[in-house]
């Protein structure tokens, strides 16, 4: 209840998952098996020739949709200058530069569209798994897919992922966008021939309207960010790619070399899928935390209250409105909540005032452009650094003289739970404090590459 009270009061807080369970790599977990992740990865592989042909910007990498894992020493040094005490190696997973969509939504959204297209073409006898899928980039296939619609409700990034891929294949693509969606995202979609329907309400209204419209058309497919397995396992493939990237960097992940992920969270599908994939690869040696804005902490609220999707942020007096538009969701995915109950390590919230600070410093110090929502993970990195350094109680944003809500003039703690102390509790309970020098941290940069 202390966590829920802090959420009500819009204070930065940390929630630790009491149901976190042992996870054995490549095993049955959360109701699924590793084979589901492999199937999604193999589908991406089959479509490489098509992607390289239809999206010339991917041709140099032969159609592979992946982003760099970037060390950010200057950003880490800036955070440590405020006694954050971050130990270990720190990376940014630069999903803002993922091809086609420019956000974490690329893997999940594109995967589900590809599965719809593959299933339709195979059922029609037009495609075989052993074919060269470059053949799909043709007027014949575009005319065939043009009989069907693909629809989705979105705050922006999922809409770009699904809208661009569906339209390029030839589908009638319709994106139902909430009031939080940025104008440039709507303009980008419309320039690609996607129909954008705007709503005065939030993400929930956009999804409900899109689902209702799609259900009335037998040739329409609604991609449901709240309940889709195909999105979930598309996101999960990120773990297989990062595993390869870490091996190339000769970075070990085991009990003595833990891996920490800081994952910005909206409805929960993307960070949930990523967490599932990483648990399948690394088991108990990876620690996955979700990051949410204080005004829209829907996943933290759903998990901490035990009500999952049966509660929304408006129920506790929050608006759900935040500059982190990609995270502006009032109600979490029940599907993702159920999957994450034994797998996620916890969640934390961050104020809107801190996001532009992280955003600006990352651009100044590392030359990396992200949108505000993609910077949410830095809050957790700063606190776990303080906790691992034995500095429980220091709870600033890392900016001397910030003065933002929740910080005094020196950036010290003035509200919420004692976040660094909660992080320390997590590390101590797992005997991790003494091995943090060998830890690897990945802040997931979820989007912002295509921002004008």
The model's pLDDT over 309-344, given as tens digits with 9 standing for 90+, comes to 999 999 999 999 999 988 999 999 999 999 999 999
- Whether 49 is covered by a domain: the verdict is no
Measured between alpha carbons, how far is 310 from 346 in angstroms, rounded to an integer? 19
Block residue for tokens 């104008």:
183
Closest CA to 92 of 451, 447, 449, 441: 441
107 confidence band (pLDDT: 50, 70, 90): very high
Tell whether 227 and 238 lie within a shared domain. Answer: no
Which of 123-137, 345-359, 396-410 is the least confident region?
396-410
In 278-404 the beta strands, taken as DSSP E runs, fall at: 286-293, 346-350
Tell whether 261 and 157 lie within a shared domain. Answer: no
Domain end among 212, 231, 250:
231
Q: When comparing pLDDT for 411 and 367, which is higher?
A: 367
Tell whether 284 and 331 lie within a shared domain. Answer: yes
- Whether 290 is covered by a domain: the verdict is yes
Q: Given a cut of 70, is residue 39 above it in pLDDT?
A: yes
Tell whether 203 and 310 lie within a shared domain. Answer: no
Tell whether 380 and 266 lie within a shared domain. Answer: yes
How many separate domains does the chain show?
Answer: 2
Write out the residue range of the structural domain in which residue 321 sits.
2-34+58-101+232-445
Tell whether 260 and 347 lie within a shared domain. Answer: yes
Tell whether 224 and 247 lie within a shared domain. Answer: no
Measured between alpha carbons, how far is 174 from 152 in angstroms, rounded to an integer? 7
Measured between alpha carbons, how far is 82 from 145 in angstroms, rounded to an integer? 55
Reduced to 3 states, what is the DSSP secondary structure of residue 91? strand
Tokens standing for residue 116: 């719809």
391 confidence band (pLDDT: 50, 70, 90): low
The verdict on pTM exceeding 0.95 is no
Domain end among 203, 231, 259:
231
Q: What is the pLDDT of residue 402?
A: 46
CATH, residue 440: 3.40.50.1100
Q: What is the pLDDT of residue 452?
A: 82
Domain end among 231, 264, 287:
231
């Amino acid at each position: 209840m202390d966590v829920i009270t802090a959420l009500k009061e819009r204070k930065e807080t940390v929630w630790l998952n009491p149901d976190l369970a042992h996870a054995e790599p490549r095993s049955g977990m959360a109701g699924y098996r590793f084979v589901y992740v492999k199937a999604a990865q193999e589908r991406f592989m089959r479509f490489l020739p098509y992607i390289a042909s239809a999206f010339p910007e991917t041709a140099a990498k032969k159609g592979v949709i992946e982003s760099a894992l970037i060390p950010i020493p200057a950003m880490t040094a800036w955070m440590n200058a405020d006694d954050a005490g971050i130990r270990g190696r720190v990376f940014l997973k630069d999903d803002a530069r993922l091809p086609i969509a420019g956000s974490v939504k690329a893997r999940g959204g594109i995967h589900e569209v590809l599965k719809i297209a593959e299933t339709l073409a195979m059922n029609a006898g037009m495609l075989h798994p052993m074919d060269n899928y470059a053949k799909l980039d043709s007027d014949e296939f575009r005319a065939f897919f043009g009989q069907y619609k693909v629809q989705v409700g979105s705050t922006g990034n999922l809409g770009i992922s699904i809208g661009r891929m569906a339209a390029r294949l030839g589908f009638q693509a319709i994106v139902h966008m909430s009031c939080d969606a940025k104008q440039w995202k709507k303009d980008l979609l419309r320039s690609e021939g996607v129909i954008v329907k705007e709503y005065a309400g939030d993400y929930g209204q956009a999804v409900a309207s899109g689902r209702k419209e799609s259900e009335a058309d037998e040739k329409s497919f609604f991609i449901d960010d709240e309940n889709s397995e195909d999105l979930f396992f598309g996101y999960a493939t990120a773990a297989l790619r990062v595993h390869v990237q870490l091996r190339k960097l000769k970075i070990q992940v085991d009990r003595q070399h833990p891996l920490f992920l800081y994952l910005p969270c909206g409805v929960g599908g993307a960070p949930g899928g990523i967490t599932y994939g990483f648990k399948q690869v690394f088991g108990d040696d990876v620690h996955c935390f979700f990051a949410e804005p204080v005004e829209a902490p829907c996943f933290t609220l759903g998990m901490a209250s035990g009500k999952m999707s049966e509660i929304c942020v408006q129920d506790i007096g929050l608006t759900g409105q935040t500059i982190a538009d990609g995270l502006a969701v009032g109600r979490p995915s029940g599907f993702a909540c159920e999957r994450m109950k034994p797998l996620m390590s916890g969640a934390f919230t961050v104020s809107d005032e801190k996001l532009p600070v992280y955003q600006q410093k990352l651009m100044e110090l590392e030359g990396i452009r992200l949108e505000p929502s993609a910077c949410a993970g830095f809050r957790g990195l700063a606190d776990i650094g303080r906790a691992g350094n034995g500095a429980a109680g220091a709870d600033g944003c890392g900016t001397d003289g910030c003065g933002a809500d929740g910080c005094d003039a020196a950036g010290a703690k003035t509200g919420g739970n004692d976040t660094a102390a909660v992080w320390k509790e997590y590390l101590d309970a797992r005997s991790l404090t003494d091995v943090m020098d060998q830890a690897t941290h990945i802040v997931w940069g979820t989007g912002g590459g295509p921002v004008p």
